[in-house]
Amino acid sequence: MVRLFGTDGVRGEANTELTPELAYRLGRAATLYFGAHSEVRPRILIGRDTRISGEMFEAALTSGICSAGGVALLAGIVPTPAVAYLARKHKAQAGIVISASHNPFGDNGIKFFGGDGYKLPDAVEDELEALVCRLASHDDEARPIGGKIGIVEHRGDLVNQYVDYVTGTCAERLDGMKIVLDCANGAAYETMPRILRRLGADLKVIHALPNGVNINDNCGSTHLDSLRRTVVETGADIGIAHDGDADRCLCIDEKGELIDGDHILVACVAEMLRAGRLPHKTVVSTVMANIGFHKAITALGARVEVTQVGDRYVLEAMRRGGYTIGGEQSGHIIFADYGTTGDGPVTALQVLAALKRSGKKASELSAMMTTYPQLLVNVRVKTKEGWAENEAIRAAIRAGEERLGADGRVLVRPSGTEPLIRVMAEGADNKQLEEVCGAIADVVLREQGEA
């Protein structure tokens, strides 16, 4: 059987792979699981993004929670990190986010946070999955009746608590700073404009009119053209883009150039070093971080702890090592001083505060790191098994590394969700990268078979 929980919760096309029936069982299973050793009704907080299917899944999850005697706290439309923060603040047993992040509107997802605000460990997800499967085949769990049936609390006030919390993470006023904000027609459409205006920003907001089907539609952190154009046309100091559930943040400088997650980390690490707030002088990032990122961090006098791709692995390394900042090139940045997961609004405020304190232009902060050209080739294969031990592939990788030398690198890894092996190379010369990637990809295709 295919595992129900993927790398970030349960996802699929709404009403096809991800159905209301499945959502009902997830809500019921979560209540039974988290309430198993509780003397009081388990409280589960639910937040969602702006997708048309969000209310359907909210209703289904709520029914499942109430059928098991729990309390469903409905926060409405809020960013993903708001659920993590609010579940912890209100001592809920769990938090549930209904969102498919940067995916198109037709998809949706259900992901869980524990009462501590952290994503659930794999072992807990496995137990929940087993319980969901059992409920689907034979639901013999007790069903409370009368006054013990679960209840629903509509908590429209919770979004205000998140706004207050995020605003309080910024130590600078933003008066006089001209900002363009792209809300992706998603979960941050209400919260982030309020936060920036409260801090005094001169704000222009785009893509903040969600209608259920326009989330991430040629906007947000995965489609930056309209933000880039608006920043340049209006003479703004900086542009900020979130994705559909606002756990990511990317920026555009005053010249229209991208400030990705690597650049954001470098700017924030520099500020934390200056303030003496970088434990062990270490930042955590993944194997996908640009080689220019590593060079910039070294130049600052800090070091990088490297993990596999995925924010959960970044967070695990941060908690294990006692580090306070980590993230990914995609703009999923975690500040342990402020939260337990990636938070797009918090990330944006840390960048804006650093910009305000420095008195520099956004392009000057971004120039602290030189981005090396990066080429990625996806090779569709019959099997991903055994590639790492294949001597022909290993020899091709070694040859590529030798050719690129100290100012380049090669990274080959399998896709976690598709029959692909990804071949990535970085270096100073694009033509050389094409030749290196092409040579390795040819060997991978020959050895692993064409799909």
Residue 4 main-chain phi, psi, to 5 deg: -70, -45
Q: How confident is residue 3, by pLDDT bands cut at 50, 70 and 90?
A: confident
- Provide the CA 268 distance to its chain's centre, in angstroms: 18
Please tell me the predicted confidence (pLDDT) of residue 2.
Answer: 57
- What b/e sequence results for 75-99 when a residue is b if at least 16 CB atoms lie within 10 Å of its CB, and e otherwise? bbbbbbbbbbbbbbebebbbbbbbb
Q: Same structural domain for residues 119 and 41? A: yes
Of the three residues 131, 157, 183, the one that is the final residue of a domain is 157
Q: Same structural domain for residues 360 and 385? A: no
What is the average pLDDT across 148-165?
97
Q: Please list the active-site residues.
A: 101
What is the average pLDDT across 395-415?
92
* Integer Cα distance of 191 and 204 in angstroms: 14
Q: Is residue 407 over pLDDT 90?
A: no
Of the three residues 313, 338, 366, the one that is the final residue of a domain is 366
Q: Same structural domain for residues 24 and 102? A: yes
Q: How confident is residue 448, by pLDDT bands cut at 50, 70 and 90?
A: very high
Please tell me the predicted confidence (pLDDT) of residue 266.
Answer: 97
| CATH for 190 | 3.40.120.10
Contact 449, 380 (CB under 8 A): no
Q: Same structural domain for residues 54 and 183? A: no
Residue 4 maps to a domain: no
Q: Same structural domain for residues 400 and 294? A: no
Please tell me the predicted confidence (pLDDT) of residue 181.
Answer: 98
Please tell me the predicted confidence (pLDDT) of residue 451.
Answer: 61
What's the structural domain count of the chain?
3
Contact 80, 247 (CB under 8 A): yes
Q: Is residue 1 over pLDDT 50?
A: no
Please tell me the predicted confidence (pLDDT) of residue 5.
Answer: 86
**For the chain, percent helix, then strand, then coil, each to nearest 5?**
40, 20, 35
What is the average pLDDT across 159-163?
98
Q: At what angle do helices 261-274 and 344-358 cross, to 10 degrees?
A: 60
Of the three residues 110, 131, 157, the one that is the final residue of a domain is 157
Contact 93, 35 (CB under 8 A): yes
Instruction: Specify the pairing of strand 107-114 against strand 10-13.
Output: antiparallel
Please tell me the predicted confidence (pLDDT) of residue 142.
Answer: 85
Burial of 439 (0-12, 13-18, 19+ CB in 10 A): middle
Residue 163 maps to a domain: no
Q: How confident is residue 418, by pLDDT bands cut at 50, 70 and 90?
A: confident
Q: Same structural domain for residues 209 and 336? A: yes
Q: State which residues form the domain around 379.
A: 374-448
pTM (predicted TM-score): 0.91
Please tell me the predicted confidence (pLDDT) of residue 247.
Answer: 96
For 12-49, what is each residue's pLDDT tens digit?
999 999 999 999 999 999 999 998 877 789 999 999 99
**Average pLDDT, rounded, for the chain:** 95
For 71-108, what is each residue's pLDDT tens digit?
999 999 999 999 999 999 999 999 999 999 999 999 99
Question: Helix, strand or coil for residue 146?
Answer: helix
Q: How confident is residue 417, by pLDDT bands cut at 50, 70 and 90?
A: low
Q: Is residue 156 over pLDDT 60?
A: yes
Q: Same structural domain for residues 231 and 327? A: yes
Residue 1 maps to a domain: no
For 182-216, what is each residue's pLDDT tens digit?
999 999 999 999 999 999 999 999 999 999 999 99
